[in-house]
Amino acid sequence: MSTVPPSTAPPALTAHGKSWLRMRAIARRHAYVMVRSPHRLFDVSLWPLVDVLLFGSLAAFVSTGNATPAAKASGYLLAGIVLWHVIYQSQIAMSTGLLEETWTRNLLNLMVTPLREVEYLAGVALFGMVKLVIGVGVMVLGALVFFSFDTWSLGFGLIPIVAVLLVVGWAISLFVMGLVLRFGTGAEALAWGVMFVLLPLSGVFYPTDALPTVLQPIAQALPTTHAFAALRSLVDHNGSDWSQLAIAAIGVVVMLALSMAFLVAMLRTFRARGYITRYT
Amino acid sequence: MPLGRRAPDQSTAITAGSVTARRYRADVVAELVLEARGLVKDYRRDRAVDGVDITVRAGERVALLGPNGAGKTTTLLMVLGVVAPDAGTVSICGIELARQRSRAAECVGFAAGYLPLTERMRVREYLKLYGQLYGIADPDPLIDEGLERFRIAELARAMGTELSSGQRTLIGIVRATLHRPRLLVLDEPTASLDPDVAQRVRTGLLDLCDRDGTALLMTSHDMSDVVQVCERVVFLSHGQVVADGSPETVASAYGHGDLTGVFLHLAERHDPFAAQQSDHP
């Protein structure tokens, strides 16, 4: 055995310092995953670009006649798809963060460390923000270059809408994480599937009046519906619709609280039933 | 050591002999780094762990042994706070695990032969990640020290996917000991390793325990591990502690010359198709 010189004790950090260190460590761990997996880069480059090309081309087609409704629809389509990716990127970044740990059987490695659940979530969300900025940035640029649609022209009214959609993405991801903890990786399809349920119900590209009558009450209960209604108000140059934003804000707080409670309950079940053995 | 350092109230199926007054004083001095009392865990209709008491004192090296299905891994997972016990309590360095898991986890390191390294990271990046999860702002000097301890400094720049299973095990142990835990928990640390690598693991563990006073709780199916590394063995069978003492004491209590004989004895009793007999000597 080689001789190992005893090292000096590492400097102690405060509890808050340790928390922040752990969050950054988790964010960096997921950065390595993205940078060293080229196909993961598609999530923030190619797929957003494909979406903006698809919906931008559709917008160009429907606005050919220059009629007012058609011109409106093109703005709804482009602004809708760009803002939809705020939910998509924030949700997928967090959900696949946990899924990555299950796919690589890394969950036990993490769970035996002092890492708290909230620190893990914050670390994944922190890196998710980076992915969001890159992914949505690609879309904003694509919309401007290919379709002369300047998302920034919608103004500062976008900020509260983006904030609501960001938190909606987090809330959905907490719900998906809870399902993955409870039902295993079989529930991973929900990480993507749940978005396709939300997309039509939220009126991302159209007012929810266009939905079948039976679905309209469900749509009205979703905070995303009100956030996208506020977005359409901006597209129509009517300024910020604060009443819609207020409903969206209240809705998203309720949604986040419910998702958090669900995740905590599922985590308790996970520990009680020893589901960690699925990943060892 | 060890026999003399056991707490006098420790519940054991086999007592380790008389405890002299001097040794009793040592009991009082030696700090408990792990105190698990009355652990119970049911999985559906089966009771995996049935009232297990385990204590480990500072610097003590303890093996948790038993046939497959005896409850070893479930016990370890409860000690680590990953599985919640249905009954019983776990304290680590005096910190109650159920109430302060994060603080208690700072005192523990865990590695298992079956756990992979985190993918898409180089060894140094991987070790740095875990060092920081344990609250070490600059883990680099400790990483160098840990790699040197197991003579694998050349692996620092390798990707985790390029390593052999033996190298992964060694890296896992380095990771588990970066923060100088008071208690190191190892599940099958030498499983499927070549004899030379297994020996390097054993020597490294002994060096670590001697230098840092780290207590060790490990499971193994390799009795040569146990004899070389551990000074106390705890045998589980059907989720219960059936023997607790030095390897020699336990072997002789069962009428065998070594621990392998005890293991086979218990494994035979554990066979669900065998007639039920007592697990006790």
Measured between alpha carbons, how far is residue A98 from residues A166, A210, B19, B166 in Å? 18, 36, 51, 27
Structure confidence at residue B21 (pLDDT): 39
What mean pLDDT is predicted for residues B196-205? Answer: 88
pLDDT band at B3 (very low <50, low <70, confident <90, very high): very low
Mean pLDDT, chain B, as a whole number? 85
Chain B from 216 to 245: CB within 8 A of any A CB: none
- Beta-carbon separation of A17 and B43 below 8 A: no
Instruction: Report how far residue A52's alpha carbon sits from residue A70's, in angstroms, rounded to the nearest whole number.
Output: 18
> B88 phi and psi, to 5 degrees?
100, 170
Structure confidence at residue B7 (pLDDT): 38
Structure confidence at residue B62 (pLDDT): 97
Beta bridge partners of B96: B91
Whether A4 has a pLDDT exceeding 70, the answer reads: no
Whether B43 contacts chain A with CB within 8 A = yes
For B162-174, the pLDDT digits (tens) are 898 888 989 999 9
Q: Is residue B240 part of a domain?
A: yes
Chain B partners of A28 at a C-beta cutoff of 8 Å?
129
pLDDT band at B16 (very low <50, low <70, confident <90, very high): very low
Of A13, A271, A280, the CB nearest to B137: A13
pLDDT band at B23 (very low <50, low <70, confident <90, very high): very low
Please give, rounded to a whole number of angstroms, the shortest distance from the CA of A38 to a CA of chain B.
11
Residues 6+ apart with CB under 8 A from B171: B117, B123, B126, B127, B152, B155, B160, B163
Q: In degrees, to the nearest 5, what angle opens at C-alpha A243 toward C-alphas A241 and A244? A: 70
CB pairs under 8 A between A and B: 117
Among the listed residues A48, A43, A41, the one whose alpha carbon sits nearest the alpha carbon of residue A83: A48
Query: pLDDT higher for A274 or B166?
Result: A274
Structure confidence at residue A69 (pLDDT): 73
Mean pLDDT, chain A, as a whole number? 91
Structure confidence at residue A161 (pLDDT): 98
Chain B from 107 to 166: CB within 8 A of any A CB: 108, 110, 112, 114-116, 118-121, 125, 128-130, 132-139, 141-142, 145, 148-149, 151
CA A47 to the chain's CA centroid: 15
Query: pLDDT higher for A170 or B119?
Result: A170
Whether A30 contacts chain B with CB within 8 A = no
- Beta-carbon separation of A4 and B135 below 8 A: no
- Beta-carbon separation of B102 and A116 below 8 A: yes
Residues 6+ apart with CB under 8 A from B125: A32
Is the reported ipTM for this assembly greater than 0.90? no
Structure confidence at residue B10 (pLDDT): 38
What mean pLDDT is predicted for residues A228-251? Answer: 96
Weakest-pLDDT range from A120-124, B71-75, B108-112, B199-203: B199-203
Whether B160 has a pLDDT exceeding 80, the answer reads: yes
> B50 phi and psi, to 5 degrees?
-130, 80
Whether B236 has a pLDDT exceeding 90, the answer reads: yes
Query: pLDDT higher for B194 or B103?
Result: B103
- Beta-carbon separation of A106 and B119 below 8 A: yes
What mean pLDDT is predicted for residues A154-174? Answer: 96
B61-65/B87-92 β-pairing: unpaired
pLDDT band at B28 (very low <50, low <70, confident <90, very high): very low
Whether B232 has a pLDDT exceeding 80, the answer reads: yes
Q: Is residue B9 part of a domain?
A: no
Write down the residue that tokens 């809705």 correspond to. A251
Instruction: Report how far residue A205's alpha carbon sits from residue A80's, in angstroms, rounded to the nearest whole number.
Output: 5
- Beta-carbon separation of B84 and A115 below 8 A: no
Q: What is the CATH number of the domain that holds B219?
A: 3.40.50.300
- Beta-carbon separation of A109 and B114 below 8 A: no
Q: Is residue B211 part of a domain?
A: yes
**pTM for the model:** 0.87
Residue of B nearest to A10 (CA): B136
A206 burial level (CB within 10 Å; 0-12, 13-18, 19+):
middle
What mean pLDDT is predicted for residues B69-96? Answer: 96
- Beta-carbon separation of B133 and A17 below 8 A: no
Structure confidence at residue B280 (pLDDT): 63
pLDDT band at B83 (very low <50, low <70, confident <90, very high): very high
Chain A partners of B129 at a C-beta cutoff of 8 Å?
25, 28-29
Whether A261 has a pLDDT exceeding 50, the answer reads: yes
pLDDT band at A65 (very low <50, low <70, confident <90, very high): low
- Could you tell me the residue ranges of all domains in chain A? 19-279
Q: Is residue B48 part of a domain?
A: yes
Structure confidence at residue B221 (pLDDT): 87
Structure confidence at residue B29 (pLDDT): 53
For B239-280, the pLDDT digits (tens) are 999 999 999 999 998 888 888 888 888 887 765 555 455 666
Whether A118 contacts chain B with CB within 8 A = no
Could you list the residue range(s) of the whole structural domain that residue B115 is in? 21-270
pLDDT band at A67 (very low <50, low <70, confident <90, very high): low
For B98-156, the pLDDT digits (tens) are 999 999 999 999 999 888 888 889 999 999 999 999 999 999 999 999 999 888 999 99
Beta bridge partners of B233: B63, B245
What mean pLDDT is predicted for residues A165-194? Answer: 91
Instruction: Report how far residue A101's alpha carbon sits from residue B118's, in angstroms, rounded to the nearest whole number.
Output: 8
What mean pLDDT is predicted for residues A98-106? Answer: 91
- Beta-carbon separation of A274 and B207 below 8 A: no
Structure confidence at residue B278 (pLDDT): 60
Instruction: Report how far residue A59's alpha carbon sits from residue A75's, in angstroms, rounded to the nearest whole number.
Output: 7
Residue of A nearest to B187 (CA): A280
Instruction: Report how far residue B198's alpha carbon sits from residue B192's, in angstroms, rounded to the nearest whole number.
Output: 9
Contact indicator for A245, B77 with CB cutoff of 8 Å: no
What mean pLDDT is predicted for residues A81-101? Answer: 94
Q: Is residue B12 part of a domain?
A: no
Whether B194 has a pLDDT exceeding 90, the answer reads: no
Number of domains forming the structure of chain B = 1
